Amino acid sequence: MTELTRLYPMVQFKKDTWEIDEFDLASMYLLIGSEKAMLIDCGMGVGDLRGAVEMLTDKPLITVISHNHPDHSGNVRQFDEIWINRKELGQDMPYPLEKRRFDTERIAARQKDCIGNPYTMFHLYPYDINVDLREPAPDTKMPVIRELTDGMQFDLGGGRIVTAYECPGHAPGEMVFLDEMTRTLIAGDALNFSLFLMGAPVESALRGLRKIESLKDRYDGIWNGHHDYRAFGAPLDKDCLPTAIRMCEDILAGNYAPVEEPDAWGQKVPLTRQGEKHSWKTTIRRGRNSISFKESNIFEENRQEGGNR
C-alpha cells in the first residue's frame, strides 16, 4: 500500500497538549494523560492521521468528533471507535470524496493566492491530493459509534479529566471540550471570528456561547477547529467570544444590518462550482467578527414552523 503522508505540522502548545494542523484544512487536538489519550476531530481526511498520532503517543486512544462536517470527520475510518453527538449522525461519515476534494483544493488555492505568484511553482503542502485524500477502501470498517452527550467526562489519567459540552449553532450537535488540568477549551467550530450558524436557531447558539462564557474561570484560552483565525498553537483573541455573544443578542433583538461578504474562503480563488453561493444566509459584521445565520431560524420556538418573526 502506498504510504500516506504524516507530515502534519504539529505544535505542543501546553504540556502533553498538541495542535495537529491538517495542512490549513482543519486542526485536530491530541491531549495525552497518564493512562489514555484523547484525539479531538479527524480533519478532512488527508494522510495517515492515526500514524501521526501514534508518533506522539502509544496510550489507548479516545477519539471524539466535535461535529460531522467534511473537515472534521474525514479520517474517522482510521479509528476503531469514535464518540459523537447523535444529532450529528444521519449523513455520510466521511463525506463523499468529491466534496472533501473540492474544499481541499480551494484551501490550497487560497494559500497560493496569499503568497503570490513566484511561489506557486513550489509544492507548498507535503501531500499529494491524488494519493493522500481518498475514499475509504471498501473493506474498511466503520468505527464503533459511541454517543457523546452534554456533560460527559473522560478520565485520561493523572487527574486529567476532559468534559464535553453541547453547544449547538454551527451544527446541531456541536460539542466543545474542557480540559481543566491545562485550562484549555477546544471549541471545534462553535466559536471563531467567522461564525456560520447553520445547525440551530441563533437563540440556541447564544445559549451555547453563554455556556462557554460561564466556564471562563476554568480555562485561559479557547482553541477552535481552524487556525486561520489565530496563530498556529495560539488561542483565539479574547474579544472573539464576548463580541459573538453581543452580536447574537442583537440578532434576537432585531437590531442588525446585513453586509455583503466575500465568499467563505476570504480570497478570490480560481475555482467555482455551480450553486456554491450561500444564498441562505444573512451576514453581519462587527470589527473582526462576522456571523452568518438564517433569518428564518432565529428563535427556537419557530424552528418547526420555519417562519420569520
Minimal distance, residue 71 CB to Fe ion, in Å: 4
| Separation of alpha carbons 233 and 301, rounded Å | 39
Shortest CB 41 distance to Fe ion, Å: 9
In this chain, which stretch among 109-117, 118-126, 143-151, 218-226 interacts with Fe ion, using CB under 5 A?
218-226
Which residue in 16, 22, 48, 71 binds Fe ion (CB under 5 A)?
71
Q: Give the three-state DSSP class for 202.
A: helix
Per-residue CA distances from 8 to 26, 53, 127, 137 (Å) = 11, 10, 9, 22
C-alpha cell at 77: 475510518
Of 45-53, 65-73, 241-249, 301-309: span binding Fe ion (CB under 5 A): 65-73
Closest CB 226 distance from Fe ion, rounded Å: 6
CB 159 within 8 A of CB 181: yes
| Helix, strand or coil, per DSSP, at residue 305 | coil
Which range binds Fe ion by CB under 5 A, 42-50, 74-82, 183-191, 292-300? 183-191
**Residues numbered 34-63 forming contacts with Fe ion, rule: CB under 5 A:** none
- Which residue's CB is nearer to Fe ion, number 43 or number 201? 43
Backbone angles phi, psi at 138, to 5 degrees: -55, -30
Query: Among residues 22, 88, 103, 189, which is the contact residue for Fe ion, using CB under 5 A?
Result: 189
Closest CA to 66 of 243, 225, 220, 262: 225
- 242 membership: H or E segment, kind and range: helix 240-252
Q: Which three cell numbers stand for residue 213?
A: 462564557
69 binds Fe ion (CB under 5 A): yes
CB 100, min distance to Fe ion, A? 12
How far apart are the C-alpha atoms of 32 and 36, rounded to whole Å? 6
Closer residue to Fe ion in complex, CB, 208/225: 225
Binding status of residue 103 toward Fe ion by CB under 5 A: no
Closest CB to Fe ion belongs to which residue? Answer: 69
Q: Which stretch binds Fe ion (CB under 5 A): 9-17, 112-120, 188-196, 271-279?
A: 188-196
Does residue number 22 form part of the binding site for Fe ion (CB under 5 A)? Answer: no
Cis peptide bond N-terminal to 70, omega within 30: no
Contacts with Fe ion, residue ranges (CB under 5 A) = 69, 71, 189, 225
